[in-house]
Amino acid sequence: MTKKTKIFLNNNLLSNNAYVQDSFLKRFLGLMFQIKPKEQKILIFKNAFWIHSLFVFFRFNAIFLDSNFNVIDYKFNIPPFLILKPVFRAKYTIEFVNLCPKVKIGDKIEIDEYRH
């Protein structure tokens, strides 16, 4: 079952509709083979430093986080069928559809699922 969680950017609620991709199949598929949703869609991947948009038929945004949930890189408006350069320091990747958060390197992301 996909875990629904809240996500915060610099202590401000960004969305209460984010989903942790917690199985091999969910991590493998991500946004592939889907039609573009009309609403926001946020997928959270743990231990993910590399993404692609092969078989993703719409543009999306991605934020890469280190182990302390600090933004270390981001890519916006990623087109379909692209292989992105890995962000090896990333421990988490968040993919956004229909939402483009205003982030900068060093911003803090908090995810309820991973709060201690």
User: Where residue 51 sits, what CATH number does that domain have?
Assistant: 2.60.120.1140
Inform me whether the pLDDT recorded for 12 exceeds 80: yes
Provide CB contacts within 8 A for 68, sequence distance 6+.
Answer: none
Distance CA 40, CA 116 (A): 26
Which tens digit of pLDDT belongs to each residue from 46-98?
998 999 999 999 999 999 999 999 999 999 999 999 999 999 999 999 999 98
Which tens digit of pLDDT belongs to each residue from 27-44?
888 989 998 888 888 999
Domain that holds residue 40: 3-114
- CA distances to 11, 14, 114 from 7, rounded to whole Å, are 9, 6, 10
Q: If pLDDT is split at 50, 70 and 90, which confidence band does 25 have? A: confident
pTM of the model: 0.92
Total domains present in the chain? 1
Q: If pLDDT is split at 50, 70 and 90, which confidence band does 1 have? A: low
